[in-house]
């Protein structure tokens, strides 16, 4: 069994460590040799159709839904197409407005999630072209979709999804850049610049992984708490939603992820002496705003840990209790690094509480019932 786990104690830890490879494999063969563009040779969706897309609906469940939340930021910022992201179990029953030029993207690691499959069928019945971003090319979702973008994360065994999520992010970056090129919303230079930054991601994930001992120490500390909060703005908000799910799923510690600016609209009432608040502060255009939200919780006795850039450590330590850092990358690419910190945090919290990391209670790897 240890051999299957490649020498790691759990599949989840093995899969966390496989992310640099999963990034490389998902990018491989899709980036032009000159590094200035992206190609999807297997996409049935024509360039003409891409030019005409009026809106995009991303539909998925759980962690794949969280990848879709980042996907919305990615596509809107790169290709300037309005995007909505829905959980599949809600999408079907809210009579979504699907027009002729609506593109639907379903995201599913397993390709077998019943709600996501049903959403795909609903979208197709309304005339939408559906792209499936999936890790299993022979799956029901891959079979039924009009197009498939395969994430090449390799088999994912742990119930808590890690490398599939980050590979889904890579798929969204590539798709966003591809659409940006066709719709001329980004210049060749801008696209090349982003691709160059993406090229460094696998190595940067390795750097995040070397911080495991400090993350473990902090995880052992939060494992003593029953409730905690995650906050962030922009893509950081999307990432903390995933971090919160990961922690709940395997450590059974209750947490809530909040858009940092929304705290004062109710949630601040729950902040009391000693409660841990984990803030993601990688988006420098809103850093001041996030810092002022951090002050709001600090003033009410919260103990704050921030994930940001190393260069910010000194400044941040004036207002927070702990800083964990990620290597410098472009603002849009930070989720591919920051989420790794939160995955390790969830893993070590679960370990500290002696839970079954790979098989959390009440959960199945693939939910094939509605
Ligand atoms: C992830 O950690 C969860 N186990 C779960 O939310 C999962 O992402 C969800 O059930 C969707 O699965 P899928 O990607 O296989 O469709």
Is 360 close to ligand 1, i.e. is its CB under 6 Å away? Answer: no
pLDDT in tens, 304-315: 999 999 999 999
Ligand 1 pocket check: which of 64, 68, 150 to mutate, most ligand atoms within 8 Å of Cβ?
64
22 to each of 102, 198, 248, 336, how far by Cα in Å? Answer: 30, 13, 25, 12
Residue nearest to atom 9 of ligand 1 (CA): 62
Task: Please give the ipTM for the structure prediction.
Answer: 0.98
pLDDT tens per residue, range 23-81: 999 999 999 999 999 999 889 999 999 999 999 999 999 999 999 999 999 999 999 99
Catalytic residue check, 365: yes
Q: Is the pLDDT of residue 348 over 80?
A: yes
Regarding the beta carbon of 88 and ligand 1, being less than 6 Å apart is answered no
- Share the mean pLDDT of the chain: 96
- Closest CA to ligand 1's atom 2: 160
Return the ligand 1 atom nearest residue 164 CA. Answer: 14
267-299 burial string, b = 16+ CB within 10 Å, else e?
ebeebeeebbbbbbbbbeebbeebbebbebbbe
pLDDT digits (tens, 9 = 90+) for 206-260: 999 999 999 999 999 999 999 999 999 999 999 999 999 999 999 999 999 999 9
């Amino acid at each position: 069994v240890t051999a299957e786990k490649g020498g790691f104690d759990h599949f989840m830890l093995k899969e966390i460590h496989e992310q640099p490879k999963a990034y490389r494999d998902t990018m491989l063969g899709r980036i032009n040799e000159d590094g200035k563009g992206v190609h999807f040779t297997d996409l049935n969706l024509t360039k003409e159709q891409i030019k005409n897309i009026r809106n995009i609906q991303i539909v998925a469940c759980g962690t794949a839904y969280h990848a879709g939340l980042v996907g919305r930021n990615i596509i809107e910022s790169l290709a300037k197409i309005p995007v909505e992201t829905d959980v599949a179990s809600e999408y079907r029953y809210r009579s979504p407005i699907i027009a002729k030029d609506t593109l639907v993207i379903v995201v599913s690691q397993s390709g077998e999630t019943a709600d996501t499959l049903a959403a795909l069928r609903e979208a197709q019945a309304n005339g939408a072209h559906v792209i499936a971003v999936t890790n299993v090319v022979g799956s029901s979702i891959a079979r039924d979709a009009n197009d498939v973008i395969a994430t090449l994360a390799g088999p994912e065994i742990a119930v808590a999804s890690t490398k599939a999520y980050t590979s889904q992010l890579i798929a969204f970056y590539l798709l966003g850049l591809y659409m940006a090129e066709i719709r001329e919303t980004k210049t060749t230079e801008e696209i090349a610049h982003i691709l160059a930054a993406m090229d460094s991601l696998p190595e940067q994930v390795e750097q995040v992984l070397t911080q495991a001992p400090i993350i473990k120490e902090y995880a052992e500390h939060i494992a003593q708490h029953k409730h905690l909060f995650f906050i962030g703005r922009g893509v950081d908000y999307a990432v903390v939603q995933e971090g919160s799910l990961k922690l709940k799923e395997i450590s059974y510690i209750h947490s809530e992820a909040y858009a940092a600016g929304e705290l004062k609209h109710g949630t601040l009432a729950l902040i009391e002496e000693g409660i841990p608040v984990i803030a993601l502060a990688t988006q420098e255009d809103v850093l001041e705003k996030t810092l002022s939200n951090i002050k709001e919780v600090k003033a009410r006795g919260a103990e704050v840990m921030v994930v940001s850039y190393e260069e910010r450590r000194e400044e941040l330590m004036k207002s927070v209790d702990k800083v964990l850092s990620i290597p410098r990358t472009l603002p849009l690419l930070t989720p591919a690094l920051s989420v790794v910190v939160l995955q390790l945090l969830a893993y070590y919290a679960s370990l500290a509480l002696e839970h079954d990391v790979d098989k959390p209670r009440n959960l199945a790897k693939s939910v094939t019932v509605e």
